[in-house]
Amino acid sequence: MSYPSGRHFLQIPGPTNVPDRVLRAMDAPTIDHRGPAFQTLALDILELLGPVFGTKGPVVIYPASGSGAWEAALVNTLSPGDTVLAFDTGHFAALWREMAGKLGLVVDFVPGDWRHGVDPGVVAEKLAADTAGAIKAVCVVHNETSTGVTSRVAEVREAIDSVGHPGLLLVDAISSLGCIDYRHDEWGVDVTVAGSQKGLMLPPGMSFNAVSEKALQASAGAGLPKSYWDWRPILKGNRNGFFPYTPPTNLLYGLKESLAMLYDEGLPQVFARHARHAAAARAAVRAWGLAVVCVEEREHSASVTAVLLSEEHDADKVRDLILDRFDMSLGAGLGKLAGRVFRIGHLGHFNDLTLLGALAGVQMGLQLAEVPIHPAGVEVALELLRA
């Protein structure tokens, strides 16, 4: 056999499974991106994007992975030597910090154990101590894809306001948008960074900055060098439905369809669906007698569950075995969790049986890898999902 029969189980926490409806929508001729049909498509999409971000403001679209939108958020709002306050909540927070350093920013990086989200109390403390006003932005990863831990963005905003600090709030919502309740405007987020390949159920290759009025004002004086990422020519072109570069036309066809699917289901229902599957996944993990990385009940991610193995078991070997035997991809442990953790993605185009299939594969894989577990995990998830 040169190929495994049946459908591959893509249970990494992004890229996620692309619905057939979205695949079909993208399967169309690429059109002139300076012509009237594209203009109509772009104007529609720019209008449709607001609700999923919870904003009435502009959303900038880049033909780039999420990292590009990270960079865009920084270079459009900050100047060389500015200080940003960031938190070591996981691998992606650490990568964003590294990028900020490379761009010439000073990062006040608050240590963390990768099992908790950002502590709003520490945000307030740090900003209250910043009497010189050195800190220009607070960077928060809403859903740490590497750990399955969320940070309470609304409380971070309250903490910033509680001490009257003028810093911008930049939030990475790459693996929360379209999965976990997110409110750019209501939470006073200044730049939301997102990507196509997670809750938006699209292939990778497109990313976003939702931009507040305050961020737009900051961009007028932001001195970090930028060209491709510069919001201004993009926002100017977007007013008429055009882009200053070649846009990812076929991904935009897909985006229109995936937004229609999300709005058709209803965002509150989408969030509830993710929360329900995450609760069933955690229940299975606990029934196996294993631990999840997140230790705070209110900080559990609804899009990914990171499962911690004891030191004598190699999580990568378990993943390899599961891929080999059951044709299922699980997320690897990243950074300092490499080999210690595997991650079950339960986000995007996903239902009860997808979760049960994934959990069945994990349970069999753990047993075959001789990780001692109680075989009750799948049964516990079945009971929860049947209820």
Ligand X SMILES: Cc1ncc(COP(=O)(O)O)c(C=O)c1O
The footprint of ligand X (CB under 6 A) covers: 14, 65-67, 92, 141, 145, 172, 174-175, 195, 204
Cα–Cα distance for residue pair 253/40, rounded to 1 Å: 12
* Cβ distance to ligand X smaller for residue 124 or 347: 347
CA 183 to CA 181: how far, in whole Å? 7
Question: Which string of DSSP letters, residue by residue, matches 23-70?
Answer: HHHH-S----TTSHHHHHHHHHHHHHHHHHHT-SS-EEEESS-HHHHH
CA–CA distance, 381 with 172 (Å, rounded to integer): 30
User: Which of 174/308 has CB closer to ligand X?
Assistant: 174
Least Å distance, CB 11 to ligand X, is 14
Q: Tell me whether residue 38 or residue 87 sits nearer to ligand X (CB atom).
A: 87
Residue nearer to ligand X on the CB measure, 119 or 172? 172
Let me know: does 146 contact 90? Beta carbons within 8 Å.
yes
Q: Half-sphere exposure of 262 toward its Cβ, with a 13 Å CA cutoff?
A: 29
Closest separation between CB of residue 387 and ligand X, Å? 31
90, 144 Cβ separation under 8 angstroms: yes
- End-to-end CA distance of the chain, in Å? 40
Considering beta carbons, is residue 41 or 200 the nearer one to ligand X?
Answer: 200
The residue (of 65 and 79) whose beta carbon lies closer to ligand X is 65
Closest CB 249 distance from ligand X, rounded Å: 19
Residue 124 C-beta: closest distance to ligand X, Å? 24
Q: Enter the tokens of residue 113.
A: 């154990």
Where helices occur in the chain by DSSP H, the ranges are 20-26, 36-53, 66-77, 91-102, 120-129, 153-162, 213-221, 231-238, 249-265, 267-288, 315-326, 352-368, 377-386
Helix axes 213-221, 231-238, angle to 10 degrees: 130
CB nearer to ligand X: pick between 147 and 219: 147
- Find the angle CA(361)-CA(369)-CA(89) to the nearest 5 degrees: 75
CB of 92 to ligand X, least distance (A): 4
Query: How far, in Å, are 6, 68, 220, 361, 372 from residue 365 at the CA level?
Result: 18, 36, 54, 6, 11
CB of 303 to ligand X, least distance (A): 9
- CB of residue 343 vs ligand X: minimum separation in angstroms? 10
For 19, which DSSP code? P
Minimum CB distance to ligand X, residue 84 (Å) = 16
The residue nearest ligand X at its CB is 66
Point out which residues pair with 172 in neighbouring strands: 141, 193
**Residue 324 to residue 326: CA distance in whole angstroms:** 6
Least gap, CB of 322 to ligand X (angstroms): 20
Identify which of residues 205 and 237 has a Cβ nearer to ligand X in the complex.
205
- Nearest alpha carbon to residue 93 among 179, 193, 167, 183: 193
Query: In whole angstroms, how close is the CB of 72 to ligand X at the nearest point?
Result: 12
Of the pair 42, 93, the CB lying nearest ligand X is at 93
Q: Which is nearer to ligand X, 145 or 363 (CB)?
A: 145
Report helix angle 153-162 to 120-129, nearest 10.
30
